[in-house]
Each structure stands twice: as C-alpha cells, then as structure tokens.
Amino acid sequence: MVALNGRDLLSLADLSSTELQELLQLATQLKSQKLKLQSNKVLGLLFSKASTRTRVSFTVAMYQLGGQVIDLNPNVTQVSRGEPVQDTARVLDRYLDVLAIRTFAQQELETFANYAKIPVINALTDAEHPCQVLADLMTIQECFGSLNGLTLTYVGDGNNVANSLMLGCALAGMNVRIATPEGYEPDPKIVEQARSLANNQTEVLLTHDPELAAKEAAVLYTDVWASMGQEAEADDRLPIFQAYQISEQLLSLADPQAIVLHCLPAHRGEEITEAVIEGSQSRVWDQAENRMHAQKALLASILGAQ
C-alpha cells in the first residue's frame, strides 16, 4: 500500500507520479473493500468556508476506517476571535492525529503545517483543491481504464480547481487545456510547476478559445464562475464568462466518448447547461461519490492501515 506516513498534502505537487498512481489504485480498491486504521485516530476538520462534499466525505471516510472526527467550526472555536494560527496549530497538534483545513490563503495552510507536527491536508484553499482532483482522476480512470495520454479540457475560471487539475494531469501523464477569459487565467507559478512536472511529455495549454480547447477532448470539466469569497463579483462576471459554458454545442466538439465533470456545487444555466449536467455523458455523481473513496485512501496512507 502507498505509504505517505505522517506527510502533509498541501498541494498535489507534494505527490510523485508513482504515489499518485498508487493512491488512485488504493482508492479504487476501497470502493469495494474494507480497511481499518492500525489504531484509533482522530481527524479535525477546520473549515473557514462552507462545504457539503468535502466535510461529509472526509467524515464518513474516517468513520469507515474506524477513526473519529471533530468538526472544528471556526465560529465555535477561538479561531473566529483571532487566535493566531501559530498558537491554534500547536495546540491542535497535541490533541489530534490529522487535520484537514479549508481556508482562503495557501500561506495560512502552510503556517499551520509549519507549526503542527501532525499531518495537515488541504481541503481547499484559494490556490488549490488537491482532494477534489484525486477524486476527479479516479473517476476518469474508472471511465477510461487508464489516464496516460488522455486530454482534459477545463473551461471557465482559472481558479483553485484549475490549478490542481494542471498539476494532477501533469503527474498522471495527461494533456490539460485550460480555457478562460482574458484576465482569469490560472496562477502562472502553478502553470510553470505543471509544465515542469509534464517535462515536455504532455501538454499544459492555456487558451481563451473554449472551442479550440474542447476539440476531441476526453474530459470536459468546469466549475462555478465566481468561487467562495468572490460573491460580490458574481454578477459582473456573468457577461465575461458567457462563452465559457459547457453546452451541448461545446460537448459536440469533444471526443464522442467524452465525459463531463463538475466539482459541484453547480450553477445550471451559467457554467453548465441543465441538459449537459443531467445528460448521458455526465459523470458528476460518480465524481462526487469518489471524493469519499479517494480521501479514505489518502487518510489510510497518511495514518497507516491494516
């Protein structure tokens, strides 16, 4: 079994290609097999943003592994009253075995990881969403048998999901195309990192042309046009992103066997049409289920299981 003993997962780039493959293999096994942690362990969920899938899938995964979960809502801890991250991290370190954090700045997550000796998992920051992309790659592998050489096209905002998809696809030997409006491209540092991981073996393409990006792709992927924390910009973004919707017309340009993914929650009629998300090529519900299997594999690998 892949051994990430005691390690943090702050970015997908914390994994090697081999570790990613082994983690996806374990996640697929855990869909039908039971596994228990070597000893009773406690996971803390410190989420400063709303969550349905990540919160519930981490909780159920930990319970099924024989562990326990504490939901550390910032509103009922001293976090919301401004206790320094360094202090919270050193205290939680003394109680918990692993901590999953959802917050705004990647820097805050990194400070937590620096001050806590226990493993820290990125459950979403403004920069990355690695746990989401583990489930995405697992879903693509289930559909196509392997990942190597496939092309994933992401259409929409160059956000945290786009950033982690670039890293995940590069590690998995996939081509990745990111189509965004001008000014909404993914983080240039992460683009550079993904290109370095791809090592000229696969493509990491940025474009403003969604039709070019969709051509013959195996996977079309999108996310909301305004992420958590960007609500005030949402209305202004609507006309800018209109051409970046996954519609039946855009899907018709992809490979005929293409699948459609969305990390959810979705805004039907904005980034994706009702017909596509509910259509025969949509795999979004399998993708959402796989969050639980992928995170169970991650927890088992970090904490040790038998």
User: For binding to ligand CP (CB under 6 A), which residues are involved?
Assistant: 51-54, 124, 132, 263-264
C-alpha 29: how far from its chain's center? 20
Tell me if residue 143 is catalytic: no
For the question of residue 236 being annotated catalytic, the response is no
Closer to ligand CP at the Cβ: 276 or 305? Answer: 276
Q: Is 262 a catalytic residue?
A: no
Please state, in angstroms and rounded to a whole number, the distance separating the CA atoms of residues 126 and 149.
28
Query: Smallest distance, Å, CB 287 to ligand CP?
Result: 9
| Nearest CA-CA partner of 4 in 236, 213, 300 | 300
Cβ 279 to ligand CP, closest distance in Å? 20
With respect to ligand CP, which residue has the nearer C-beta, 79 or 135? 135
Q: Please tell me whether 53 is known to bind a ligand.
A: yes
Q: Is 52 annotated as a binding residue?
A: yes
Question: Known binder of ligand: residue 202?
Answer: no
Structure tokens at 237: 């973004």
Q: Is 45 annotated as a binding residue?
A: no
Which is the catalytic residue, given 102, 262, 283, 293? 102
CA dist., res. 221 & res. 271, Å (int): 10
Binding site annotation covers 281? no
- Choosing from 143, 263, 281, 293, which is the catalytic residue? 263
At its nearest, how many Å lie between ligand CP and the CB of residue 51? 3
Q: Which is nearer to ligand CP, 122 or 153 (CB)?
A: 122
Q: What is the Cα–Cα distance from 13 to 25, expressed in whole angstroms?
A: 18
Active-site choice (136, 193, 223, 293): 223
Residue with tokens 């070019």: 212
d(CA 27, CA 295): 8
Q: Is the dihedral of CA 21, 285, 133, 189 positive or negative?
A: positive
Cβ proximity to ligand CP: between 100 and 303 the closer is 100
Separation between Cα atoms, residue 48 and residue 102, nearest integer Å: 6
- Tell me whether residue 208 is one of the annotated catalytic residues: no
Q: Which helix (H) or strand (E) holds 86?
A: helix 85-95
Minimum CB distance to ligand CP, residue 132 (Å): 5
Q: Which is nearer to ligand CP, 41 or 55 (CB)?
A: 55
240 close to 212: Cβ distance less than 8 angstroms: no
Shortest CB 228 distance to ligand CP, Å: 8
For 155, the 3-state DSSP assignment is: strand
Q: Report the distance separating Cα 14 and Cα 19, nearest Å.
A: 10
Q: In the sheet that 204-207 helps form, which strands lie side by side, from edge to edge?
A: 204-207, 175-179, 151-155, 219-222, 259-262
Which residues carry a binding-site annotation for L-ornithine? Answer: 160, 223, 227-228
Which residues carry a binding-site annotation for carbamoyl phosphate? Answer: 51-54, 78, 102, 129-132, 263-264, 291
Which residues carry a binding-site annotation? Answer: 51-54, 78, 102, 129-132, 160, 223, 227-228, 263-264, 291
Catalytic (active-site) positions: 102, 129, 132, 223, 263, 291
